[in-house]
Amino acid sequence: MRCPYCGGEDTQVKDSRPTEDGTAIRRRRVCSTCGGRFTTFERVQLRELTVVKRSGRRVPFDRDKLARSVEVALRKRPVDPEKVERMVNGIVRQLESSGETEVPAEQVGKLVMEGLKGLDDVAYVRFASVYRNFRDAADFSSVLGELSSDGDD
């Protein structure tokens, strides 16, 4: 494992433990070259996934990119990070267990929308505005209408 500070290749694991949800191993490392400390996570990957973009372009699935987009939608919202991590892990598990190696970007977006709807309405609308490429206020109105009609059930 390369050190993120100096690029040194000699790092040692000082502590390993499972994450709270048991889906990963958290490792604390120290660089022998510069003494920098950092954390890595080791996760099970059932299969290599490829995301098929709307343009037809194929890119490798990136769990970190998924987590970042969820974090952006949740920025400054009072949502427990544990719930966010469980949601991201659930989406990844759903995609990996689908049996498909190529996943449409639209399917990933829908799964994120479903997850955010259960976590935070504001984050749901934020994500929807990018995912659905909102053009004007009427687009926001329709999503807010969806939220209020779902809440009436």
Digit-coded pLDDT (tens) for 85-101: 889 988 988 888 877 88
Query: Looking at residue 126, what is its pLDDT?
Result: 83
Residue 140 confidence (pLDDT) above 60: yes
User: Given strand 102-104, what is the order of strands in its sheet?
Assistant: 58-60, 50-52, 102-104
Per-residue pLDDT of 24-45, as tens digits, reads 788 999 999 999 999 998 876 6
| Sequence-ordered strand ranges (E) for 1-153 | 11-18, 24-31, 37-43, 50-52, 58-60, 102-104
pLDDT at 38: 94
Distance, in Å, from the CA atom of 55 to the CA atom of 51, rounded to the nearest integer, reads 11
